[in-house]
């Protein structure tokens, strides 16, 4: 077979808004692909601006900088291969009004030779592209290296019309630049949509996704190539930047994808752990925080959060603080020290007893005649939050919040206490998943992790009953259903969007379902004030699931 087309795939990690740095990275990757023999080099969706740029595309100065960077990149192609780069572009409509398009810009021979705009603009979940972009017309193929290349951007692969239009107009291959965020159940969705487009058109398909974290979103890469029969013949690694060549041979008047590298797919727990690791690492590094500080209680949530911090940044950039109260057990003190020892990070101790006494004295005249309740318990949590924020302000590290999705769902968290921080790495992870992740990390270390080999927490941290230790002999299950049942109900209410009566029909106790539903609705005002965190599920709090705080509707 005669080798007919070689495409360089750039699975890269851009930073939103860092146009000059993104352009420099694209230029360097382009030259590496050129050296390896690429005839077309493809970068992900909006790779030049970073994805998603949100309202940055409303700023003329930002778009001016994009235009200048595209001009510079085009010059690189004067004697080299073609380059296709995702970028926001201004368009003047028939009404004379200037709009912005989510475009793929093709450069060849030292100039911009073609542009194609995204047709289907997602407007659900974390996506609100219809608010800032105008849709493009059905695209026509672009001739590159003597072949008719059909370019369609991300969401356009989710629908049949764009691929069919390209096929009808002579496309020989489909190339799909993407900015597709990770979700735990999404791994099989992209190849399924791609295979549907291949089956309908009989054309091979190249899918190029980005990697990295952007605020609450994480991108897992896993770019791939399908041959005209729908078989996956090339797959890039998940969770790491990577560059590769996809080669195509001329066969029977068409293009046939040749076998290439096939990176293994990570198992679900590795994917979830690396999603959290990627999101945390890029949030810290791209926002230029020097270090992380977090409260280490001796419990499982703070233990796995500390492990993620050390794996992301290295032990020397992580400080843990144990803040005991009179209710803190010796077991918790021992377990916190053991976690810090296994991770190799600093452990400071700041007792909050004096703060509790000071607040008790201050508030005594106002609390007189009333029995102690959650108010006194929450003072402890807020004293700890205050101490961590004071250390952050004085010394510079970002406070890492350690709460999980189960707690966020039902309000089992204290505003301005354990909810304070710059980032909540477990925000979209249920408690039962925290247990599973902890066991996974004790047995495995990701290849790119900076933390230790071997266990990162004692077995007792995983097996002991969870407790906030805000009063004597307190256990989480004093206030909540067992986490196995709680999480099963929450997953049905949140991700499943089921009505309470449907869940009861599945065999869950009616009173328990009603109580969880009430707690979920009542905690919306708390969640609105929580820090950002890594989105891993289909419906994460914040960007996905947005219920009104003032809400008189009840099922």
pLDDT digits (tens, 9 = 90+) for 87-113: 999 997 777 777 899 999 999 999 999
Report the first-to-last Cα separation within the chain, whole angstroms: 64
* Helix (H/G/I), strand (E/B), else coil: 220: strand
State the Cα–Cα distance between residues 437 and 444, nearest whole angstrom: 10
Q: Looking at residue 475, what is its pLDDT?
A: 77
Neighbour-count burial of 392, counting CB atoms closer than 10 A to its CB (0-12 exposed, 13-18 middle, 19+ buried): buried
Residues in contact with 280: Cβ distance below 8 Å, sequence separation at least 6, in sequence order = 213, 308, 309, 312, 400, 423, 425, 534
Number of H helices, E strands in the chain: 17, 20
Strands 318-322 and 232-235: what pairing? unpaired
Cβ atoms of 536 and 183 within 8 Å: the answer is: yes
Residue in the structure block whose two tokens are 């993620």: 308
Is 263 a residue whose pLDDT tops 80? yes
Which structure tokens are listed for 499?
A: 């009505």
> For the residues 11-26, what does the mean pLDDT come to?
97
Q: Is 345 a catalytic residue?
A: no
State the Cα–Cα distance between residues 297 and 469, nearest whole angstrom: 9
State the Cα–Cα distance between residues 13 and 239, nearest whole angstrom: 10
Using the CB atoms, write b or e for 428-462: b if 16+ within 10 Å. Answer: bbbbbbbbbbbebbbeebbeebbbeeebbbbeebb
What pLDDT digit, counting tens, does each position of 157-209 carry? Answer: 999 999 999 999 999 999 999 999 999 877 778 999 999 999 999 999 999 99
Torsion of CA 335, 340, 343, 345, to 10 degrees: 170
> For the residues 127-136, what does the mean pLDDT come to?
90
**CA proximity to 292, closest of 423, 160, 447:** 423
Average pLDDT, the chain: 93
Look at 254 and 83; give whichever has higher pLDDT.
Answer: 83
Strand partners, 85: 105
What pLDDT digit, counting tens, does each position of 492-525 carry? Answer: 999 999 999 999 999 999 999 999 999 999 999 9
pLDDT grade, residue 123 (50/70/90)? Answer: confident
State the Cα–Cα distance between residues 385 and 389, nearest whole angstrom: 6
pLDDT grade, residue 395 (50/70/90)? Answer: very high
Global confidence as pTM: 0.93
Strands 346-349 and 254-257: what pairing? unpaired
State the Cα–Cα distance between residues 485 and 493, nearest whole angstrom: 12
State the Cα–Cα distance between residues 117 and 215, nearest whole angstrom: 25
* Helix (H/G/I), strand (E/B), else coil: 257: strand
Q: Which of 154, 281, 320, 420 is catalytic?
A: 154
Q: Is 45 a catalytic residue?
A: yes
Cβ atoms of 208 and 9 within 8 Å: the answer is: yes
Q: How far is CA 134 from the centre of its chain?
A: 25
Is 473 a residue whose pLDDT tops 90? no
Q: Which of 39, 115, 118, 433 is catalytic?
A: 118
Cβ atoms of 292 and 316 within 8 Å: the answer is: no
**CA proximity to 334, closest of 309, 305, 303:** 303
Work out the percent of the chain whose per-residue pLDDT is above 70: 99
Using CA of residue 440, residue 443, residue 448, residue 452, what is the dihedral sign?
Answer: positive
Q: What's the DSSP call for residue 43? A: -
State the Cα–Cα distance between residues 500 and 496, nearest whole angstrom: 11
Residue in the structure block whose two tokens are 């419990």: 299
pLDDT grade, residue 555 (50/70/90)? Answer: low
Q: Looking at residue 1, what is its pLDDT?
A: 42
> What is 281-335 written as a DSSP string?
HHHHHHTT---EEEE--SSHHHHHHHHHHHHHH-GGGEEEEE---TT--HHHHHH
Sheet holding 147-151, edge to edge: 142-144, 147-151, 173-177, 205-208, 224-226, 232-235
What pLDDT digit, counting tens, does each position of 311-345 carry? Answer: 999 999 999 999 999 999 999 999 999 999 999 99
State the Cα–Cα distance between residues 477 and 479, nearest whole angstrom: 5
The phi and psi torsions of 197 (rounded to 5 degrees) equal: -70, -40
Q: What's the DSSP call for residue 2? A: E
């Amino acid at each position: 077979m005669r080798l007919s087309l070689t495409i360089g795939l750039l699975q890269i990690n851009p930073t939103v808004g860092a146009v000059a740095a993104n352009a420099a990275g694209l230029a360097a990757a382009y030259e590496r692909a050129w050296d390896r023999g690429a005839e077309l080099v493809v970068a992900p969706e909006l790779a030049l601006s970073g994805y998603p740029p949100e309202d940055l595309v409303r700023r003329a100065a930002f778009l001016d900088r994009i235009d200048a960077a595209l001009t510079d990149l085009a010059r690189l192609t004067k004697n080299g291969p073609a380059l296709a780069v995702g970028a926001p572009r201004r368009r003047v409509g028939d009404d004379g009004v200037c709009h912005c398009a989510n475009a793929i810009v093709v450069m060849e021979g030292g100039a911009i030779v073609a542009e194609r705009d995204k047709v289907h603009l997602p407007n659900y979940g974390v996506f609100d592209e219809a608010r800032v972009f105008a849709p493009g017309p059905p695209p026509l193929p672009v001739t590159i290296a003597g072949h008719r290349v059909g370019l369609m951007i991300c969401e356009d692969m989710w629908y049949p019309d764009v691929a069919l239009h390209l096929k009808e107009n002579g496309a020989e291959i489909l190339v799909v630049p993407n900015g597709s965020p990770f979700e735990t159940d999404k791994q099989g969705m992209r190849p399924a949509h791609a295979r549907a487009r291949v089956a309908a058109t009989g054309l091979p398909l190249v899918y190029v996704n980005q990697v990295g974290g952007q605020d609450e979103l994480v991108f897992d890469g896993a770019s791939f190539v399908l041959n005209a029969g729908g078989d996956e013949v090339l797959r890039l690694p998940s969770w790491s930047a990577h560059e590769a060549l996809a080669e195509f041979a001329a066969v029977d008047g068409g293009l046939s994808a040749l076998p290439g590298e096939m990176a293994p797919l990570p198992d679900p727990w590795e994917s979830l752990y690396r999603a959290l690791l990627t999101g945390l690492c890029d949030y810290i590094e791209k926002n230029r925080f020097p270090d992380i500080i977090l409260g280490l209680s001796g419990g499982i949530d703070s233990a796995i959060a500390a492990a993620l911090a050390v794996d992301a940044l290295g032990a020397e950039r992580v400080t843990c603080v144990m803040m005991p109260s009179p209710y803190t057990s010796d077991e918790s003190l021992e377990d916190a020290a053991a976690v810090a020892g296994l991770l190799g990070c600093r452990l400071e101790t700041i007792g909050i007893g004096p703060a509790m006494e000071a607040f008790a004295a201050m508030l005594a005249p106002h609390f007189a005649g009333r029995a102690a309740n959650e108010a006194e318990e929450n003072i402890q949590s807020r004293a700890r939050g205050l101490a961590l924020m004071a250390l952050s302000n004085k010394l510079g590290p970002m406070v890492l919040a350690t709460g999980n999705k189960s707690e966020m769902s039902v309000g089992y968290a204290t505003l301005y206490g354990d909810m304070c921080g710059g980032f909540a790495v477990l925000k979209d992870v249920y408690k039962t998943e925290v247990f599973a992740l902890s066991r996974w990390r004790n047995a495995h270390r990701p290849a790119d992790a900076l933390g230790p080999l071997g266990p990162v927490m004692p077995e007792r941290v995983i097996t002991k009953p969870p407790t906030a230790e805000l009063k004597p002999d307190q256990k989480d299950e004093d206030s909540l259903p067992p986490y196995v049942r709680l999480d099963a109900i929450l997953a049905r209410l949140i991700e499943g969007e089921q009505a309470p009566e449907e869940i009861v029909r599945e065999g869950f106790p009616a009173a328990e379902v009603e109580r969880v539903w009430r707690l979920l609705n009542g905690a919306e005002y708390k969640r609105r004030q929580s820090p950002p965190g890594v989105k891993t599920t289909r419906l994460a709090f914040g960007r996905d699931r947005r219920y009104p705080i003032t809400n008189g509707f009840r099922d």
